[in-house]
Amino acid sequence: MESKNQNKKLGELGEKIAAEFLIKKGYGLLQKNYVSGKSEVDLIMKDSKQNQLVFVEVKTRNNPIVDPEIAVGKTKQRNLLRAAENYLSENNLKTELRFDIISIAIKDGKTEIEHFEDAFYPFNSF
């Protein structure tokens, strides 16, 4: 049970770091931890420069053996897409969107952040 609690805290820390990172890049934070059915989006951001809604999956690992972004497989991508469609529908939005991944690796006390813009899904709008 301790491990699950530690993973939750690590995930929350990663989401905070990712939000701050994107805000410094000029993005606006619209929502954290949007839940739709069984799907969740860690961050929903507005990229005003590109005029896009950005659905962000944050993956955080302590001393990772493989890069954290590898954990965003096809099932997770489908779930994110489903959640994005629901978010757009609930908010009556028709806008360009994209899916980004923020990979956070904490190694020997140092935090490494990688931002993968337009990380998956071939089209940009609905």
Output the 3-class SS for 12-65.
HHHHHHHHHHHHHCCCEEEEEEEEECCEEEEEEEEECCCCEEEEEEEEEEECCC
Confidence at residue 125, expressed as pLDDT on a 0 to 100 scale: 41
In whole angstroms, give the CA distance from residue 53 to residue 1.
36
CATH number (domain holding residue 98): 3.40.1350.10
Tens of pLDDT along the chain (126 residues)?
457 788 889 889 999 999 999 999 999 999 999 999 888 999 999 998 888 999 999 999 887 666 667 778 888 888 899 999 999 999 999 888 999 999 998 888 899 999 999 988 654 444
pLDDT, position 5: 82
β-bridge mates for residue 46, sequence order: 28, 53
Q: Please report whether residue 38 resides in a domain.
A: yes
Whether residue 112 lies inside any domain: the answer is yes
User: Is 98 within the bounds of a domain?
Assistant: yes
Number of folded domains that form the chain: 1
DSSP category for residue 117: E
* 126 domain residue, yes or no: no
Domain that holds residue 92: 2-120
102 three-state secondary structure: strand
The answer to the question of residue 60 being in a domain is yes
Whole-model pTM: value is 0.88
